């Protein structure tokens, strides 16, 4: 007899609720898009009330679609969410004081710069694993305190509460004010080793009076739903979306790694039970945490990101008109056997780890009279794959581990051409594994929830029950390139990266000269 779990997935673009069985098969899904507000360039906001409204509608919608399973058979719910998005609210009223600042919002650049110049700034990443950046929540909190009067007033009287999306939704849906370790690890306020809030970090960011959600394990009791057709069902799992995706890919072992190919790429690498500190700008974060016999069993990860992945396909379609549908890029690339000597550095907004070159520009090198749009398409796909290789090489080096295969998810993975290119660039006999079940993020939250209520006894039990669902009908791509070919092609790509960096640096120098001349006038 089957057992059933709900998974609430609050992403950046939509809310979804999926019902899974204990074999990991999705039985029912409901989805609703969420609105973005962009009052000025670089600003991205969402209405926190929309998260709650959408969640209830999606829960009810998915339950209504169920066939052969009743609402009363759903034993628990897991939550996964966009990370770092920041909500501040009044403890007295329970109402938000400002729109949610979405993780991609960059209005805090001046705040991040000022914080980076403070005494003790060089110690921040040693405590929380994160660099001072517009990306993370504490910097957004600091901006809100400095720029929104009612936020500052509420803070001064001791009533200001901070939430990421998970703890806001848990509070509104269950009445509990709590978060999990994966989300707390993105706040910059949690010590990565103790898994508790750090007084040093609270002092550094000047938020000593801020009310913070209680940190619980990823598989834990987060209260019971008070609304929807599943009122009374316990929420027993909570994970940030990227951690949840690797858990959903059954990445429980040291060296397990996944790459999500969305607008950009998020690469997460399981480093085991101790955090790995990066010397090259990778992020140390919590992958998954559960309590066994009263003790934390925490898995950590290294994380790196690529700014441009699926967005280069949109560029091909919308900006230069070389394809009409995004799905056509693989067919176009497949018209040629190789890139014809063309390298495309897709640095539309600089380059992230391991290059860290914000001035790098989008650059195509190696053009000749024989170059066709098919060569450009293949070079664009390979650009994402080469950057993935660069991150993976660095993760292997810094964690002193080896990976056996790369698990993949996200829109770009539907292209067999792209995934074969990824396997080739990683080297001969390296495997890229694309599961048939395309909902690993939601499944990760369901796994966390099911572990707490005993649907599975431990991670080995999870693997045994879910492996067939994850692999049956999936596809594994095996690298065909020889070691010498990988080395040669990777060298060519890195030469193109250097060209993109030199060009960007030279442009920056001239802009600085122009600014000086204007000042002289």
pLDDT at residue 429 above 80?
yes
DSSP 207-236: -TT-B-PEEE-SBS---B--SSTTTT-BEE
**84-98, 156-170, 401-415: which range is least confident on average?**
401-415
Mean pLDDT to the nearest integer, 356-367: 86
Q: Could you identify the residue written with the tokens 């190919």?
A: 261
Strand-pairing partners, residue 16, are 9, 31
Predicted local confidence at residue 6, as pLDDT: 97
pLDDT at residue 57 above 80?
yes
Predicted local confidence at residue 444, as pLDDT: 95
Strand-pairing partners, residue 74, are 4
**319: DSSP letter:** I
Co-location of 257 and 383 in the same domain = no
| Confidence band of 222 (pLDDT split at 50, 70, 90) | very high
Co-location of 124 and 141 in the same domain = yes
Which residue in 327, 308, 433 sits closest to 383, CA to CA?
308
pLDDT at residue 434 above 70?
yes
Q: List, for residues 373-389, the tens digit of each pLDDT value.
A: 999 999 999 999 999 99
Q: Nearest 5°: phi and psi at 464?
A: -60, -40
Q: Is 68 exposed, middle or buried (0-12, 13-18, 19+ CB in 10 A)?
A: exposed
Considering the entire predicted model, what is its pTM?
A: 0.89
Q: What is the total count of domains within the chain?
A: 2
Query: Which parts of 119-164 fold into alpha helices (H)?
Result: 124-128, 137-147, 149-156
Which residue in 468, 460, 312, 282 sits closest to 385, CA to CA?
312
The percent of residues above 90 in pLDDT, for the chain, comes to: 67
Predicted local confidence at residue 513, as pLDDT: 55
Co-location of 420 and 392 in the same domain = yes
Which residue in 233, 257, 258 sits closest to 76, CA to CA?
233
Predicted local confidence at residue 520, as pLDDT: 57
**275: DSSP letter:** P
Predicted local confidence at residue 386, as pLDDT: 95
Predicted local confidence at residue 209, as pLDDT: 96
405 versus 30: the higher-pLDDT residue is 30
Per the domain annotation, does 517 fall within a domain?
no
Predicted local confidence at residue 291, as pLDDT: 84
Does the N-terminal peptide bond of residue 354 adopt cis geometry, omega within 30 degrees of 0?
yes
Residue 280, classed as helix, strand or coil, is coil
Co-location of 257 and 384 in the same domain = no
Predicted local confidence at residue 178, as pLDDT: 97
Q: List, for residues 445-496, the tens digit of each pLDDT value.
A: 999 999 999 999 999 999 999 988 887 888 999 999 999 999 999 999 999 9
pLDDT at residue 1 above 70?
no
pLDDT at residue 512 above 60?
no
Q: Could you identify the residue written with the tokens 């600089």?
A: 350
Strand-pairing partners, residue 267, are 259, 304
Supply 418's token pair. Answer: 């792209």
Q: Which of 105-114, 162-171, 327-336, 390-399 has the highest mean pLDDT?
A: 162-171
Co-location of 265 and 316 in the same domain = no
> Is residue 313 within 8 Å of 325, Cβ to Cβ?
no
**276: DSSP letter:** P
Whole-angstrom Cα distance, residue 199 to residue 37? 34
Residue 1, classed as helix, strand or coil, is coil
Co-location of 187 and 326 in the same domain = no
Per the domain annotation, does 112 fall within a domain?
yes
Residue 393, classed as helix, strand or coil, is helix
Per the domain annotation, does 514 fall within a domain?
no
Q: Could you identify the residue written with the tokens 């690529």?
A: 306
Whole-angstrom Cα distance, residue 271 to residue 381? 28
Per the domain annotation, does 321 fall within a domain?
yes
Co-location of 347 and 449 in the same domain = no
Domain at 377, CATH number: 3.30.420.40
Co-location of 394 and 428 in the same domain = yes
Supply 300's token pair. Answer: 């950590």
Which residue in 135, 175, 173, 8 sits closest to 81, CA to CA?
8
Co-location of 66 and 192 in the same domain = yes
Domain range for 263: 4-273+444-471
Whole-angstrom Cα distance, residue 280 to residue 282? 6
Predicted local confidence at residue 42, as pLDDT: 80
Whole-angstrom Cα distance, residue 227 to residue 59? 10
Predicted local confidence at residue 301, as pLDDT: 94
**496: DSSP letter:** H
> Is residue 434 within 8 Å of 408, Cβ to Cβ?
yes
Which residue in 231, 315, 301, 244 sits closest to 273, CA to CA?
301
pLDDT at residue 298 above 80?
yes
Per the domain annotation, does 421 fall within a domain?
yes
| Confidence band of 517 (pLDDT split at 50, 70, 90) | low
Predicted local confidence at residue 127, as pLDDT: 93
Co-location of 205 and 124 in the same domain = yes
Which residue in 381, 390, 276 sits closest to 332, CA to CA?
381
| Confidence band of 521 (pLDDT split at 50, 70, 90) | low
pLDDT at residue 167 above 90?
yes
Residues 6+ apart with CB under 8 A from 166: 10, 79, 81, 179, 180, 183, 238, 240
Which residue in 401, 61, 445 sits closest to 247, CA to CA?
445
**104-118, 137-151, 302-316: which range is least confident on average?**
302-316
Predicted local confidence at residue 519, as pLDDT: 56
Co-location of 343 and 196 in the same domain = no
Predicted local confidence at residue 317, as pLDDT: 85
Per the domain annotation, does 297 fall within a domain?
no
3-class secondary structure for 300-311? EEEEEEECCCHH
Q: Could you identify the residue written with the tokens 């209680």?
A: 214
Predicted local confidence at residue 438, as pLDDT: 80
Per the domain annotation, does 45 fall within a domain?
yes
Which residue in 428, 407, 410, 412 sits closest to 480, CA to CA?
428
Q: List, for residues 255-285, the tens digit of each pLDDT value.
A: 999 999 887 888 999 999 999 988 888 889 9
Supply 411's token pair. Answer: 């829109």
Co-location of 172 and 122 in the same domain = yes
Mean pLDDT to the nearest integer, 392-402: 89
Per the domain annotation, does 287 fall within a domain?
no
Whole-angstrom Cα distance, residue 316 to residue 373? 10
Predicted local confidence at residue 418, as pLDDT: 93
Supply 295's token pair. Answer: 């003790």
């Amino acid at each position: 007899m089957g057992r059933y779990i709900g998974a609430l997935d609050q992403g950046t673009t939509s809310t979804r609720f999926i019902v899974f069985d204990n074999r990991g098969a999705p039985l029912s899904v409901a989805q609703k898009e969420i609105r973005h507000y962009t009052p000025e360039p670089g600003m991205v906001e969402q209405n926190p009330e929309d998260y709650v409204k959408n969640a209830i509608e999606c829960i009810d919608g998915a339950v209504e679609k169920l066939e052969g399973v009743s609402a009363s058979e759903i034993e628990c719910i897991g939550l996964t969410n966009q990370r770092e998005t920041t909500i501040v609210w009044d403890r007295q009223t329970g109402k938000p004081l400002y729109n949610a600042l979405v993780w991609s919002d960059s209005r805090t650049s001046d705040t991040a710069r000022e914080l980076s110049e403070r005494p003790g700034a060089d110690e921040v990443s040693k405590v929380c694993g994160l660099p001072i950046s517009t990306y993370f929540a504490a910097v957004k909190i600091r901006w809100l305190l400095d720029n929104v009067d009612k936020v500052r007033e509420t803070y001064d009287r001791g009533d200001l509460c901070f939430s990421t999306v998970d703890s806001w939704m848990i509070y509104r849906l269950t009445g509990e004010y709590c978060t999990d370790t994966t989300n707390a690890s993105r706040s910059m306020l949690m010590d990565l080793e103790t898994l508790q809030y750090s007084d040093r970090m609270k002092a550094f960011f000047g938020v000593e009076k801020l009310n913070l959600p209680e940190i619980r394990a990823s598989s834990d009791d987060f209260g019971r739903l008070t609304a929807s057709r599943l009122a009374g069902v316990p929420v027993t799992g909570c994970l940030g979306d990227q951690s949840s995706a690797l858990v959903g890919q059954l990445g429980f072992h040291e060296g397990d790694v996944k790459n999500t190919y969305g607008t950009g790429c998020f690469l997460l690498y399981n480093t085991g039970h101790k955090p790995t500190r990066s010397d090259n700008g990778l992020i140390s974060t919590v992958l998954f945490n559960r309590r066994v016999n009263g003790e934390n069993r925490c898995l950590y990860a290294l994380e790196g990101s690529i700014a441009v992945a699926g967005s280069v396909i949109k560029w091909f379609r919308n900006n230069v008109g070389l394809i009409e549908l995004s799905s056509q890029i693989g067919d176009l690339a497949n018209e040629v056997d190789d890139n014809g000597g063309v390298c495309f550095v897709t640095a539309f907004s600089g380059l992230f780890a391991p290059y860290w070159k914000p001035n790098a520009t989008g650059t195509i090198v190696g053009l000749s009279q024989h170059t066709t749009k098919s060569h450009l398409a293949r070079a664009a796909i390979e650009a994402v794959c080469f950057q993935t290789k660069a991150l993976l090489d660095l993760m292997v080096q810094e964690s002193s581990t080896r990976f056996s295969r790369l698990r993949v998810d996200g829109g770009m993975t539907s292209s067999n051409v792209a995934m074969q290119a990824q396997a080739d660039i990683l080297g001969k006999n390296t495997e890229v594994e694309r599961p048939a079940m395309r909902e690993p993020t939601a499944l990760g939250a369901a796994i966390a929830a099911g572990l707490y209520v005993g649907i599975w006894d431990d991670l080995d039990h999870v693997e045994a029950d879910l492996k067939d669902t994850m692999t049956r009908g999936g596809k594994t791509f095996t690298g065909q390139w020889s070691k010498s070919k990988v080395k040669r092609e990777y060298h060519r790509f890195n030469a193109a990266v250097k060209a993109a960096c030199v060009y960007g640096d030279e442009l920056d120098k001239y802009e600085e000269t122009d600014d000086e001349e204007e000042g002289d006038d």
